[in-house]
Amino acid sequence: MNSCGRLARVFDRRSGLDVLFCLAKPRTTCRQCPQTTPPLARGQSTAANHTPGSDADDKPRVRAVDLARKIRGEKSKTRETAPPMSAQQRRVMELKRFSVQLQNVHPNVLAKHLHRSVLYQDKDVVIVNKPYGIPVADDSDVTSITSVLPVLSKMMDGMKIKSDSQLIPCLGLEKDSTGTLLLARRDEVVEHVLALNRNNKVERKYWVITVGVPVPSEGLIDIPIIEREVTGPQPHYKMALSPLYRLNDEGDGVTKVRSHRQAHPALTKYRVLDSSSGCSLVELQPFTGVKHQMRVHMAFALGCPILGDHKYSHWSKLAPQKLPERVLGKLGIEQSKVRHLPLHLHARQLTLPGSSQADVNVSCPLPKYFTQTLGRLHITLPDEKQT
């Protein structure tokens, strides 16, 4: 065989064969070396690697950039063909986003969120801004705050490998409430805080938006609460009032009745901060810690349930809260979508008496959905009234 004498033998790993290349004219076939194979560009393969009619010949390789362009094009077409959303549809989507924002995230994501939400910390306690929809206790299928406290403690300790720091919940909050959540760094601190709370030394104030205007505008609700079974098509249990007094037979006075053995004393102080559009911003200060105390007192004692409280807006059934047409118009939703309204119950302020230092007084900013509701109802915050 005649050749130009400038041949190179290269072993092709894909085909398992030795391939001759002519170095005289790269990327072309030398006339004197007809049996040589031209050099291949990166990403190409030799003819020995393929057989006629194989899948590799029939299906060209797809580049990532082309695939990305195709996906972007399909998304833009979907947006163009989709009908525009109405104002009410956008409002519902907004409420859904608020209510499930952190409920299905990785525990580390929740721990990072709580780390960014620290309102106060010292050698004994940490106060964080609890997000909506996250339970404090580890008793459900969703990620709880208690389950991520080891990670949060390590973050606050500078991610040290050997760290014995811990965080323990002291005074809990309901799953659907937001605001100041107190965590202790040691077991003895937990006992100290609980003792202070039993003696009403810990002051906690909550802000709620109610459907209706409480009359009188401020007062003290002192009605025991008991858990009762609600019979009917959907049997369930609810907390209910167990009053110590009832109207006499003449209807012009009250008569004291014997208290129920299973009833819990419940005491709640309230004050209307502002009202508009048939709703009110009310400050609550509970002096006892009965389950669902503030929700029951507002709904059944004052007849002004908390906005978004779908459990205690009805007694005999489980159904979304029924709102007046005026309130629905202000909130920009239909009655059929009221179930997406979150509970407007926010732990606004927490005050702890200091032993060797000044009292710890922490205020927590309102969540976004709370402030948006206030704006839609034209309810003014106390600070804005003074300016």
Measured distance CA(335)–CA(321) in Å, rounded: 8
pLDDT score of 267 more than 80: yes
274 in the Ramachandran plot: left (φ > 0), alpha (ψ -120 to 50) or beta?
A: beta
User: How much is the average pLDDT of 282-290?
Assistant: 96
Q: At 217, phi and psi to the nearest 5?
A: -75, -15
The predicted pLDDT at position 232 comes to 82
Does 202-378 match 101-199 at the fold level? Answer: yes
Q: Please, what CATH class does the domain formed by 202-378 belong to?
A: alpha beta
Measured distance CA(164)–CA(104) in Å, rounded: 29
Q: Cβ neighbours of residue 312 under 8 Å, at least 6 residues apart? A: 238, 239, 292, 295, 296, 299, 300, 305, 306
Contact present, 366 and 131 (Cβ < 8 Å): no
The predicted pLDDT at position 65 comes to 80
232 in the Ramachandran plot: left (φ > 0), alpha (ψ -120 to 50) or beta?
A: left
The predicted pLDDT at position 379 comes to 97
Q: Cβ neighbours of residue 235 under 8 Å, at least 6 residues apart? A: 229
The predicted pLDDT at position 64 comes to 80
Higher pLDDT, 275 or 16: 275
pLDDT score of 71 more than 90: no
Maximum distance among all alpha carbons in the chain? 129
- Where does 83-201 show beta strands of DSSP type E? 118-121, 125-130, 168-171, 178-184
Measured distance CA(319)–CA(193) in Å, rounded: 38
State the SS3 of 310-354: CCCCCCCCCCCCCCCHHHHHHHCCCHHHHHHCCCCEEEEEEEECC
pTM: predicted TM-score of the whole model, two decimal places: 0.75
pLDDT-based confidence at 47, cuts 50/70/90?
A: very low
The predicted pLDDT at position 172 comes to 86
Scored b (16 or more CB within 10 A) or e, 164-184 reads eeebbbbbbbbbbbbbbbbbb
Higher pLDDT, 314 or 30: 314
Contact present, 37 and 30 (Cβ < 8 Å): no
The per-residue pLDDT of the chain, averaged, comes to 83
pLDDT digits (tens, 9 = 90+) for 178-192: 999 999 999 999 999
The predicted pLDDT at position 4 comes to 58
Measured distance CA(360)–CA(180) in Å, rounded: 12
The predicted pLDDT at position 165 comes to 79
Give the type of residue at 301. Answer: A
Q: How many CB atoms lie within 10 A of CB 196?
A: 17
Contact present, 23 and 10 (Cβ < 8 Å): no
The predicted pLDDT at position 258 comes to 77
pLDDT score of 270 more than 90: yes
The share of the chain scoring above pLDDT 90, in percent, equals 52
The predicted pLDDT at position 269 comes to 98
Domain boundaries, the chain: 101-199, 202-378
The predicted pLDDT at position 43 comes to 47
pLDDT digits (tens, 9 = 90+) for 294-341: 999 999 999 999 999 999 998 888 899 999 999 999 999 999 999 999
The predicted pLDDT at position 342 comes to 92
- Mapped onto helix, strand or coil, the DSSP state of residue 115 is helix
The predicted pLDDT at position 23 comes to 57
Contact present, 293 and 266 (Cβ < 8 Å): yes
The predicted pLDDT at position 330 comes to 94
Measured distance CA(47)–CA(15) in Å, rounded: 9
pLDDT digits (tens, 9 = 90+) for 355-385: 667 889 999 999 999 999 999 999 999 876 6
Number of H helices, E strands in the chain: 10, 16
Q: Cβ neighbours of residue 207 under 8 Å, at least 6 residues apart? A: 273, 281, 282, 283, 284, 346, 348, 366, 370
The predicted pLDDT at position 161 comes to 62
DSSP secondary structure code for residue 129 in this structure: E
The predicted pLDDT at position 306 comes to 98
The predicted pLDDT at position 79 comes to 62
Q: What is 101-199's CATH topology? A: Pseudouridine synthase (3.30.2350)
pLDDT-based confidence at 129, cuts 50/70/90?
A: very high
DSSP secondary structure code for residue 55 in this structure: H
Say which range, 132-141, 216-225, 288-297, has the weakest mean pLDDT: 132-141
pLDDT digits (tens, 9 = 90+) for 74-104: 877 766 665 676 777 787 787 777 667 677 7
Token digits of residue 46: 């030799």
pLDDT digits (tens, 9 = 90+) for 153-175: 999 887 666 667 799 999 889 99
